[in-house]
A and B are shown apart, each in its own frame.
Chain A
Amino acid sequence: KNEVEQSPQNLTAQEGEFITINCSYSVGISALHWLQQHPGGGIVSLFMLSSGKKKHGRLIATINIQEKHSSLHITASHPRDSAVYICAVNKGAQKLVFGQGTRLTINP
């Protein structure tokens, strides 16, 4: 079993919908990351969090350390949000363990 599991693996929605992507992990961590991989392949960091909630524009990330679970929310989704969203955790020594990614498609 993967140490980091994301759900769903694929998600298609209409423009304007509220999106939730989930991440569960089975190991002790010091931080959790949400990354975005564009269709061209590049990866950018969206959030790094170790507790609570962070917000950037229309994106919100939450983490529940006790339940070993994090969610990434997108409000008022737009076609340009279409990408693969990747959850990753710091197990230690700055090494990251990655989930398989969630492919999000937002249709106009």
Chain B
Amino acid sequence: DADVTQTPRNRITKTGKRIMLECSQTKGHDRMYWYRQDPGLGLQLIYYSFDVKDINKGEISDGYSVSRQAQAKFSLSLESAIPNQTALYFCATSDSRGPTGDNEQFFGPGTRLTVL
């Protein structure tokens, strides 16, 4: 089974709808991240969480909200979806307790979201 899972994998929705993307991990990592990827652009950080009570905005948080329901779960919500939020969304995890503190991030399979 995959260590980092995302649901749904694909979603088509309409402008104005509320959408939730979910991420779960079995790696026991304390840190979780949400990114979006647009064609021709690098991944951009939306939100990140260093533990259940620590939520931080990333570079492009406007129009998004998150919830860290448990150490293993981190959800991303689009309160009122708009077409320019059409993108590939990735969840990632990392473990702060490594020797350098700069550990690699492990990515989920991605969610392809289309907003019509």
Residues of A that sit less than 8 Å from B by CB: 2, 4, 30-31, 33, 35, 40-45, 48, 50, 86, 88, 90, 94-101
A/B interface sample: 23 pairs, CB < 8 A: A4-B42, A30-B100, A30-B101, A31-B100, A33-B104, A42-B107, A44-B107, A45-B105, A48-B102, A86-B42, A88-B42, A88-B43, A90-B102, A94-B31, A94-B48, A94-B96, A94-B102, A95-B45, A96-B43, A96-B105, A99-B42, A100-B42, A101-B42
Q: A30-B102, A90-B102, A94-B31 are in contact. Are A41 and B45 (CB under 8 A)?
A: no
Docked-complex contact A96 and B45, CB < 8 angstroms = yes
Docked-complex contact A98 and B42, CB < 8 angstroms = yes
Task: Please tell me the number of chain B residues within 8 Å of chain A, measured between CB atoms.
Answer: 25
How does the 8 Å CB contact mask read for B84-111 relative to A, with 1 for contact and 0 for none?
A: 0000101000101000111111110110
